[in-house]
Amino acid sequence: MRETFGGRGLLLPKWADAALITIALLATCVDSRVAASGLGSSPDRDPAGQLLDISERYLSLSQTNDDFLRSAEGAVERFLPDRSLKGIERLGNRARLLLDELCGIALLDLSHQDQLTAALLQRDLELLIEAPEHYWLSFDVTPYSGGYVLNVELARALNAIDLSAPGGVDHYLSLFTDSGRFIADLSNKLEKQRRRDILLPKAVIPRLRLIYSGLRENLEQLARIEPSRLEGLSLDQAQRLNRETSRIQHEIIFPALDHLMSVLGDDYLAQAPESLGLHQYPGGNAYYDYLIRRETSLTLTPDQIHQMGLEALATIQQEMQSVRQQLGFTGTAEEFHRKLEGEERFYASTPDEVERRYLAYIERIESHLPDYFLRVPQAPYGVKRASPLVEQGMTYGYYQGGAAGEKAFYYYNGSNLETRSLISAGFLIYHELIPGHHFHLALVRENQQLSAYRRGISMTAFSEGWANYAAFLAREIGMLSDPYDRYGWLLSNAYISVRLVVDTGLNHKGWSLQEASNYMLENTNADKSEVAAEVLRYSVDIPAQALSYKLGYDKIRELRQTAEIALGEDFDLREFHAEVLSSGTLALPVLERHIQWYIQQEINEGVRQ
């Protein structure tokens, strides 16, 4: 018998986990008479079936208004997202109806996995319900994400439509036409925000003008239809498609883009604030609290997060100093970083060399993985250079998983190699591929025990938290034992810790652009252009999102330590990793609940033995 929790192995009844979720859900449903019926089972209702039905309707609801114009199965939307206030309120109202139904489920009769689903659904629905309250504080036109739907998703979706299929031409023209409405909605919101004295900061406006003027210049190329796609169409259909596409461009989309550019004209620039961050707007602090909950799934305050970042960075900097001393360097951190910039060994001369370096790290760890994982994904993986067209808009690269049976890749940036230090290459590839994003995301895709809703959940705090934990695990295994590899790992960890300080500094504490930029330059190895983009990302584009990387990493390490202490000599790291990854992507409090359940199952099993 194992000794835990003061030396006692405690057997809990099977309904205990459901009771915890019931209590949490009843806090939301307290005024609903339906909620009371959810305390126990009803013989003529199937709680699991009800939950599955609600989750499928939520998934359909959320997919109609996200940035992605294609489903996981490849189906293409006919319309772009509705970002108007009425559209967001419509989503909130429908979410409220689904939450009322969720409150009526007999939660005590659900399996553990269904209990997790109920908790995740509750969170997602509550966020949709609250979103309209903050509508005027969210900017849909931003440098980081403002052009994504039009510049990336729209082109991909149009190219994915089968023109020769029944209704294919009408489908194409419908989606293309709706982009004019989408752009008009962006302008309309900017104008109404301005009347409420909510304007984009001056620093972002030149970038926005470049994005949308570039879109106008490239629209004809974006909408160009390859002749091969016209095969299977009648001559009348092909002529109609070309004629209508040209008309839509000149009569609908060009005027909409011209109006958007006029809204962002010199008058707007003159009135725009010099300061950055949400704190400067009425209701900005409440909106930032909402974003912290949405992006991290945690209920921490900005001040708590800021302090966590300061403390984490202080610890990391002490370890960095220790490594510098180990290497015999006696100067300052800034001097050491300048020295690293001048050393050829940290730079590749060709894209092929970049690829070889990444693959060398992967090959080094592969034989060790069975000692740390009970299950690994079946999908193959590899490293490949990104498209040169995409490289200009990214720093290092990105992971992209394939469909079932297809190979997943880490796409790296192969341009301007003389400026891309590879000192953190080990951290990066273990984060992006194995045992990082690929292990997590491929296992989710391959887990047919999860519902479509559970497989479709996106949660940065979990996915990036796991990827950062994976890089830590690689170091723990011994893959980053070289002092320079270790230093590269520390630089990356410092980077995600600095984000806690700068994001909260800008959005809560009133830091200026210069103050935030200086802090990043002093405490990371990022260059000025990268820092400029990061500061705008935190303060305007997606506030609070960058907090997820460090907070998710810390939470997974914390849960591992909790399990190690509770289970003692019976703790199995492979089982812990299996439990973290076996349930798909979870909000961090739900992951914590799942790990507590796993610990209790292990304790109960030990008591029975």
What is the value of pTM for the model shown? 0.90
Q: Residue 19: its pLDDT value, please?
A: 57
Q: Residue 17: its pLDDT value, please?
A: 58
> From CA 525, how far away is CA 398, in angstroms rounded?
20
Give domain limits for the chain: 1-138, 150-274, 289-549
Q: Is there a contact between 320 and 494 (Cβ–Cβ < 8 Å)?
A: yes
Cis status, amide bond into 435, omega within 30 of 0:
yes
Mean pLDDT by 10 residues, the chain (609 residues): 34 50 61 43 74 95 81 80 93 96 92 96 97 96 76 85 93 94 95 96 91 87 86 92 94 96 96 96 97 97 98 97 96 92 93 96 97 95 85 77 83 90 96 96 93 92 98 97 96 97 98 96 90 91 96 98 96 97 96 97 78
3-class secondary structure, 123: helix
Q: Residue 92: its pLDDT value, please?
A: 96
Q: Residue 180: its pLDDT value, please?
A: 94
**What is the DSSP-derived secondary structure letter of residue 76?**
B
Q: Is there a contact between 358 and 426 (Cβ–Cβ < 8 Å)?
A: no
Q: Residue 30: its pLDDT value, please?
A: 56
**Cβ partners under 8 Å of residue 299, min gap 6:** 292, 293
Burial letters 490-526, b for 16+ CB under 10 A, else e: bbbbbbbbbbbbbbbbbbbbebebeebbebbeebbbb
Q: Give the residue among 254, 78, 309 at the shortest CA–CA distance from 178.
A: 78
Q: Residue 43: its pLDDT value, please?
A: 46
Q: Residue 34: its pLDDT value, please?
A: 42
Q: Residue 21: its pLDDT value, please?
A: 59
**Cβ partners under 8 Å of residue 432, min gap 6:** 397, 398, 399, 410, 438, 467
Kindly compute the dihedral angle of the four CA atoms of residues 246, 252, 255, 259, in this order, to the nearest 10 degrees.
-150
Q: Residue 145: its pLDDT value, please?
A: 67
Q: β-pairing, 397-400 with 381-385?
A: unpaired
Q: Residue 28: its pLDDT value, please?
A: 67
